[in-house]
Amino acid sequence: MISIRFVTQDGEKTELTGDSGSVMELAAQNGIAGIDGECGGVCSCATCHVYLSEEDMQKVDAPSDFERDMLELTEDVQPTSRLSCQLPLTQEINGITLKVAR
């Protein structure tokens, strides 16, 4: 099982575990505020925007061109921004903490 900790804009901390799918799906299925994943993960809506810590950025693959282009014009973007629909639940990210962007 992969464990991910989410911190919402209100400061609420939730730890969730899952073994397949994406970080967005894990969060949306468990009602994490600010992660709606409205487009279902095709990189069209940016309603799953999260911030990683700088050191955790090394643990995930670089964003695709589609994700990078989307993030470039997303509100409140930061250097450690990612769309969580593009982050698969893998052993590499077990235990990381994500801040929800909105």
Partner 1 sequence: MLKSEFPDAFRQARKQVGVEQMDDQNDPVQMVLRFQDVRKCAHNWKTFQSGAEPGRIVVPSEVAIRSIRQIPFEVDPPEHKDYRALVEPWFKRPLDAKYTDKLRLLVDGALDDAFSKSELDVVTEFALPLQSKALTVLLNTPMKEADTWISWGTHVFRSEGEALDSDKANLLYDYLDDEIERALKDPADDLYSLLLSAEVGGKKMTKEEVKGVMILTFAGGRDTVINATTNTIAYFAEHLEALRKLKRDEAAIKKAVEELVRYFSPLTHMGRVATEDAAVCEHAVKNDTRISLCWASANRDENVFENPNDVRLDRQNNPHVAFGFGTHNCLGSTHARQLLRTLIAAMAERVDDIQLLNANNNLEHWGGVTRKVGFHQLTASFSGS
| Residue 40 engages partner 1 in binding (rule: CB under 8 A) | yes
Binding-residue pattern over the window 56 to 95 for partner 1, x denoting contact by CB under 8 A: --------x-x--xx--x-x--------------------
Of 8, 14, 38, 59, which one interacts with partner 1 (CB under 8 A)? 38
> CB under 8 A: which stretch of 2-10, 36-44, 55-63, 93-101 binds partner 1?
36-44
Cα 61 to Cα 11, 22, 31, 57, 89: the distances in Å are: 27, 13, 26, 8, 12
Q: How far is the CB of 33 from partner 1 (least distance, A)?
A: 10
Count of CB atoms situated within 10 Å of the CB of 32: 25
Pairwise CA distance, residues 50 & 34, whole Å: 9
Burial class (CB in 10 A: 0-12, 13-18, 19+), 10: exposed
Q: Is 44 in the site for partner 1 (CB under 8 A)?
A: yes
Q: Which residues bind partner 1 (CB under 8 A)?
A: 36, 38-45, 64, 66, 69-70, 73, 75
